[in-house]
């Protein structure tokens, strides 16, 4: 993600995540495949560095990314 932000192609982490999820939806049609892939990527991310506690701000941001609300075209 840092590389994408540093390249200037994206303005925020949210934008990187939304774009990645949109691209993924176009590639994976089976929900079971998507769930397996997400689990694998989560495990990879968790094992990549020491864990930090998840704050309320983190969860709020994650909810906004997952469900941006009505009128959003993403």
Per-residue pLDDT of the chain in tens (74 residues, 90 and over written 9):
788 788 888 888 888 888 888 887 777 677 788 788 888 888 888 787 777 788 888 888 888 888 766 665 54
Per-residue pLDDT, 71 = 63
- Residues 18 and 65 sit within 8 Å (Cβ to Cβ): yes
Residue 2, classed as helix, strand or coil, is helix
- Residues 37 and 25 sit within 8 Å (Cβ to Cβ): no
Q: Minimal CA–CA distance to 9: which of 19, 31, 47?
A: 19
Which two structure tokens, joined as six digits, stand for 58?
Answer: 């983190």
Per-residue pLDDT, 6 = 85
The model's pTM is 0.37
Per-residue pLDDT, 7 = 87
């Amino acid at each position: 993600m840092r590389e994408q932000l540093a390249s200037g192609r994206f303005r925020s982490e949210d934008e990187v995540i939304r774009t990645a999820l949109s691209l993924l939806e176009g590639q994976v049609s089976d929900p079971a495949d998507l769930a397996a892939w997400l689990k694998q990527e989560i495990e990879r991310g968790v094992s990549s560095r020491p864990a930090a506690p998840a704050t309320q701000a983190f969860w709020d941001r994650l909810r906004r990314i997952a469900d941006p609300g009505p009128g959003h075209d993403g």
